[in-house]
Amino acid sequence: MNTVTFKQANIKFDDLREAVGRSDCISESTEVIKDHSHDSKDPEEVAKILSWAQKAKVPVTPWGLGSSVVGGPLAVQGGISLDTTKLDRVIDIDTENMHVTVEAGINGGILEDQLQSLGLTLNHSPQSLYRSTVGGWLATRATGQFSSRYGGIEDLCVGFKAVLADGTKVTVGGSPRMAVGPDLRHILIGSEGCLGVITEVTLRLFRIAECRKFQTVTFPDVTSGVTAMRQIMVSGLSPFLLRFYDLAEARHAMKDAAFSSPVMFLGSEGSKNFSNSEMSELLEVCNKNSGVDIGSDGAESWMKRRFDFSTIENVLKTPGGVAETIEVANNWSGISGTYDALTKALKPFADEVLGHFSHAYTDGVSLYVILLGQAESPKDAELQFEQIWKVANRAVLDSGAVLSHHHGTGLARTQHVNEALGSSWGLYSRLKKVIDPSGILNPGKLGL
Ligand SMILES: Cc1cc2nc3c(=O)[nH]c(=O)nc-3n(C[C@H](O)[C@H](O)[C@H](O)COP(=O)(O)OP(=O)(O)OC[C@H]3O[C@@H](n4cnc5c(N)ncnc54)[C@H](O)[C@@H]3O)c2cc1C
């Protein structure tokens, strides 16, 4: 655990050092604050810091690897930025119960590589796998590229240890299933650092599948592809890869600027027989919806560069570059309306508006929209980002979609959390008051 501090909150540094019992993990240096580069490896310190911070009424904002694209880990009210990345040990790999237990600050990609060398996998594969922590996944309620089969982090998390705002340590979950009151894991999963600091996590493990089959299928339009996706999920098939790109994004996904139709990437895995026969059934559903199988190359080459974010990063590196990603979800009956409303609302802000559907369920699907554009100056770009979120959040809520499917709310959506939660807002805000009465954890986020 690294701790960096921000002076704005009038922290009494000597008191904090005394509470933690050591001084080398606490920094007042501006350089360290920028870099998050202090060293400590003890979850116990998290408890001491929180207990001290609660008494001193100093804000504490957990920091994983800072890959949030909605400003979640920014300590907007100063105080302590609690960098978790030195909590990075693998504690146990249990191949009988198929669980892996790790400290929460471990880099997800490093963990996955280690597991793969043993023939195992998490089957959680966010695009940010190598730039995010396991604790960050839980805190943001993340999901990965294979979620249509394996689910999001909430399905893959068996249990965890966390420290609440007053320094109380809790262990939550740990068994295959429980009927002992509400499932308390879900209080902290998705809590964006506002209810506690996750220090240790147990995730499910899987054996690497014997065989993977891929296919690439074109569709004449968005409606036919989305209909095929729905039929795939409703028919009980469970492809580990199921992504459908509109024409604008298909050109990027296929690395072919002249590509002329929306495209779907399909992947099936398991035994050789299972994946062959599931793929035949998947293609049958696609064919019935005017899908045309164009071979495996498109999907296979996407798999090889699936962690590549350079299209967006290159735009953001350009002065005045505007690139944003907005992911939402809706039921099957509403998703086309959301797609139309969101892409239309965002067109005035971008040279290109790209869209894809992924993370499919029997009852709906996620929509991911990417904007690429260029403002006249960095200042104009900043103003444009504000406008983009304002317009996007409005279009999403008005179309009946959920505000975020997996990035969380952070700063970009905090103003709309209350509206998005509707009558359940009261439940959440009461929970926050009980667990974090002084409001020290990640203030300014999750609508508070
Ligand atoms: C290129 C790129 C691709 C991405 N792809 C995906 C994707 O496919 N799927 C997806 O779901 N997301 C994706 N994201 C978003 C991001 O990677 C996730 O939100 C990720 O889970 C954040 O993890 P992190 O460790 O970087 O957390 P941070 O960004 O450091 O923090 C995120 C939030 O979690 C809180 N937090 C972090 N650690 C803890 C902890 N131990 N205890 C309590 N609170 C904590 C922080 O306070 C903050 O509110 C992507 C981001 C990028 C930049």
Ligand 1 center to residue 222 CA distance, Å? 30
For ligand 1, say whether the CB of 407 is within 6 Å of any of its atoms: yes
For ligand 1, say whether the CB of 406 is within 6 Å of any of its atoms: yes
- To the nearest whole percent, how much of the chain has pLDDT over 70? 93
Strand, helix or coil for residue 227: helix
Question: Tens digit of pLDDT for each residue in 15-39?
Answer: 777 777 777 667 666 555 544 433 3
If you write DSSP's letter for every residue of 42-59 in order, what string do you get?
Answer: -HHHHHHHHHHHHHHT--
Find where tokens 């966390």 sit.
162
Mean residue pLDDT of the chain comes to 94
2-83 placed in CATH 3.30.450 = no
Ligand 1 center to residue 107 CA distance, Å? 11
Question: Tens digit of pLDDT for each residue in 167-216?
Answer: 999 999 999 999 999 999 999 999 999 999 999 999 999 999 999 999 99
For the CA of 108, the nearest atom of ligand 1: 25
Q: Of 1.10.357.10, 3.40.440.10, 3.40.50.970, 3.30.465.10, which CATH number belongs to 90-207?
A: 3.30.465.10
Mutate to test the pocket of ligand 1, among 3, 46, 60, 132 (most ligand atoms within 8 A of CB): 132
Output the residue whose Cα is nearest ligand 1's atom 2: 128
- pLDDT tier at 4, thresholds 50, 70, 90: very low
- In what order do the strands lie in the sheet containing 352-360? 292-293, 211-218, 263-270, 241-245, 352-360, 364-374, 321-331
For ligand 1, say whether the CB of 193 is within 6 Å of any of its atoms: yes
Burial call 87-111: b when 16+ CB within 10 Å, e when fewer = bbeeeebeeeeebbbbbbbbbbbeb
Least Cα distance to 128 among 71, 175, 69 occurs for: 69
Distances (CA, A) of 154 to 77, 181, 196, 201: 29, 18, 16, 12
Least Cα distance to 9 among 63, 53, 73, 51 occurs for: 53
For ligand 1, say whether the CB of 79 is within 6 Å of any of its atoms: no
| pTM assigned to the model | 0.94
Contact 69, 325 (CB under 8 A): yes
310-408 placed in CATH 3.40.50.1970 = no
For ligand 1, say whether the CB of 443 is within 6 Å of any of its atoms: no
Ligand 1 center to residue 64 CA distance, Å? 7
Instruction: Note the residue count of the chain.
Output: 448
Question: Tens digit of pLDDT for each residue in 302-356?
Answer: 999 999 999 999 999 999 999 999 999 999 999 999 999 999 999 999 999 999 9
Q: What is the DSSP letter of 260?
A: -
For ligand 1, say whether the CB of 72 is within 6 Å of any of its atoms: yes
For ligand 1, say whether the CB of 127 is within 6 Å of any of its atoms: yes
State mean pLDDT over 383-396: 96
For the CA of 198, the nearest atom of ligand 1: 42
Question: Tens digit of pLDDT for each residue in 393-444?
Answer: 999 999 999 999 999 999 999 999 999 999 999 999 999 999 999 999 999 9
CA-CA distance, 301 to 383, in Å (whole number)?
36
For ligand 1, say whether the CB of 409 is within 6 Å of any of its atoms: no
Q: Of 3.40.50.10800, 3.30.70.3450, 1.10.10.10, 1.10.3720.10, which CATH number belongs to 211-304?
A: 3.30.70.3450
Q: Domain ranges in the chain?
A: 2-83, 90-207, 211-304, 310-408
Output the residue whose Cα is nearest ligand 1's atom 53: 67
Rounded to 5 degrees, φ, ψ at 153 are: -60, -30
If you write DSSP's letter for every residue of 16-34 in order, what string do you get?
Answer: HHHHHT-STTEE--HHHHH
